[in-house]
């Protein structure tokens, strides 16, 4: 939207917002993060040279944790529903990220998809992109749960990609599990939209499975193959790193843990909630001549609350602690003893690749923030191996088109 239209629409433009609006889009590794949460997207991007100059979220408690980590962020953090954001508030940047709510896309939710109250926030983000007009960022990145791919039999995913196409972005998609970087099982789906022209999928001779790789498992590869109406721009990715971290690597020592061990009667109650199979595993661990760690989630099975033990050295996916089932429990066993407590906020930070994140919020607030965030180590890998090379290619393309007289 031209500046004259903004002025005639009655928008209140400060000197600062006018300056931001007037800045031309550059390729300077600046980022606007939508659905910013506590700032783990920023944490990962900064590790590979990006600079966040705008952030938006609706949750003041998440913003409080964000501000504790990034005290200088106050001038550029807007606490507001994305549907109510004014376009002039968003500066010109190279990258816009959107970790939009997964509530309606996850298996744990009602699967209302992109029409649901929470996940429909994606359309608020694309509305901002549309209204930015010629200031539209040359790169966008969406992040969500794998259920985004299958929501409404793939229709939601196809509609989201088609909307990015309509806004001038060719798209790519891949999945990365945080287990490759930290001892947490946390798979997420990423979509990159770019204004860089690349040969379309429709122009290639392909066979089913052509796109299949570590980062593009068969369901995603098949989706790409079967949706030639979408303007794809698939880029090569290096092999994902091998998983090496284990749960014991992130455990607080006895002296500095902020989480107390549960009293024996409460710990015994948890043990008695295990199925015969899981109780046998727990008993074996308790009797072992070494100390080992596992994690426990409470789940409802056939109407009964059950405690399910995981002992492969990997934590389950961190969640927001709504109700008892969202809290992940640490199970320490060996030499005839066992001890039980919740994972601490610091341990959760380490599981999210943000070891030194400043934590001053109360426990539940911190656990909610980390459980609703993106793994920073994954973002650092994507920034290093995808976004940074893409910026170079965009800059070269821009320079080449300038020499050729193209606009």
- CATH code for position 211: 3.40.50.150
Verify that 158 and 259 share a domain, yes or no.
no
Verify that 218 and 319 share a domain, yes or no.
no
Instruction: State the DSSP code for 152.
Output: G
Instruction: Give me the helices (H) in 2-52, please.
Output: 3-8, 15-22, 40-46
Verify that 338 and 223 share a domain, yes or no.
no
Contact of 212 with 227, CB cutoff 8 Å: no
Task: Copy the structure tokens of residue 303.
Answer: 């109407």
| Distance set, CA 321 to CA 27, 75, 182 (Å) | 39, 30, 20
pLDDT for position 16? 35
Instruction: State the DSSP code for 168.
Output: T
Verify that 200 and 59 share a domain, yes or no.
yes
Verify that 235 and 311 share a domain, yes or no.
no
- pLDDT above 90 (res 407): no
Contact of 116 with 104, CB cutoff 8 Å: yes
Verify that 80 and 153 share a domain, yes or no.
yes
Instruction: State the DSSP code for 252.
Output: P
Supply the mean pLDDT for the chain: 85
Strands 51-57, 304-310: pairing kind:
unpaired
CA–CA dist 96, 98 (Å, integer): 7
Task: Copy the structure tokens of residue 258.
Answer: 């902020």
Verify that 171 and 80 share a domain, yes or no.
yes
Task: Copy the structure tokens of residue 19.
Answer: 């300056």
Q: Indicate the pTM of the whole model.
A: 0.87
pLDDT for position 201? 52
Split into its structural domains, the chain has a count of: 2
| pLDDT one-digit tens code per residue, 367-378 | 999 999 999 999
pLDDT for position 255? 57
Instruction: State the DSSP code for 233.
Output: -
- pLDDT above 70 (res 32): yes
| pLDDT one-digit tens code per residue, 185-232 | 999 999 999 998 665 555 455 666 678 899 999 999 999 999 999 999
- pLDDT above 50 (res 140): yes
Range of the domain at 313: 247-370
Position 279 confidence tier, pLDDT thresholds 50, 70, 90? very high
Strands 329-334, 337-342: pairing kind:
antiparallel
- pLDDT above 90 (res 20): no
pLDDT for position 392? 92
pLDDT for position 118? 47
Verify that 326 and 184 share a domain, yes or no.
no
CA–CA dist 54, 72 (Å, integer): 11
271-309 burial code (b ≥16 CB/10 A, e <16): bebbeeebeebbeebbeeeeebbbbbbbeeeeeeeebbb
Verify that 356 and 382 share a domain, yes or no.
no
Closest among 177, 313, 172, 173 to 240, alpha carbons compared: 177
Between CA 81 and CA 88, with CA 83 as vertex, the angle to 5 degrees is 95
Contact of 270 with 340, CB cutoff 8 Å: yes
């Amino acid at each position: 939207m031209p500046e004259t239209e903004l002025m005639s629409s009655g928008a209140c433009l400060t000197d600062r917002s006018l300056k931001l609006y007037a800045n031309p889009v550059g390729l300077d590794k600046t980022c606007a993060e939508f659905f910013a949460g506590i700032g783990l997207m920023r944490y990962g991007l900064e590790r590979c040279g990006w600079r966040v100059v705008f952030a938006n979220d609706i949750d003041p408690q998440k913003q409080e944790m964000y501000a504790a980590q990034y005290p200088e962020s106050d001038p550029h953090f807007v606490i507001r529903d994305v549907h109510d954001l004014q376009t002039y508030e968003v500066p010109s940047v190279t990258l816009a990220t959107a970790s939009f709510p997964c509530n309606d896309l996850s298996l744990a939710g009602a699967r209302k998809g992109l029409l649901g109250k929470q996940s429909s926030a994606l359309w608020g983000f694309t509305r901002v992109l549309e209204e930015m007009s010629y200031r539209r960022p040359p790169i966008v990145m969406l992040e969500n749960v794998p259920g985004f791919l299958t929501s409404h039999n793939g229709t939601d995913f196809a509609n989201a990609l088609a909307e990015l196409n309509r806004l001038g972005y060719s798209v790519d998609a891949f999945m990365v599990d945080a287990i490759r970087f930290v001892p947490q099982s946390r798979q997420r789906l990423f979509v990159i939209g770019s204004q860089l022209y690349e040969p379309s999928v429709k122009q290639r001779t392909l066979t089913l499975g052509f796109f299949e790789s570590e980062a593009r498992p068969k369901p995603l590869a098949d989706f790409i193959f079967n949706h030639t109406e979408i303007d794809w721009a698939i880029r090569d990715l290096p092999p994902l790193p091998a998983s090496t971290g284990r749960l014991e690597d992130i455990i607080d020592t006895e002296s500095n843990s902020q989480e107390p061990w549960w009293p024996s009667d409460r710990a015994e109650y948890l043990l008695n909630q295990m199925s015969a199979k899981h109780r046998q595993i727990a008993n074996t661990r308790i009797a072992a001549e070494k100390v080992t760690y596992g994690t426990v989630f409470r789940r409802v099975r056939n109407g009964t609350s059950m405690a399910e033990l995981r002992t492969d050295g990997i934590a389950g996916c961190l969640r927001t602690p709504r109700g008892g089932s969202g809290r992940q429990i640490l199970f320490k066993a060996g030499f005839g003893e066992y001890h039980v407590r919740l994972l601490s906020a610091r341990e959760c930070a380490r599981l999210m690749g943000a070891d030194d994140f400043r934590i001053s919020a109360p426990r539940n607030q911190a656990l909610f923030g980390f459980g609703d965030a993106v793994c920073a180590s994954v973002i650092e890998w994507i920034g290093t191996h995808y976004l940074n090379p893409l910026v170079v290619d965009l800059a070269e393309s821009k320079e080449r088109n300038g020499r050729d007289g193209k606009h």
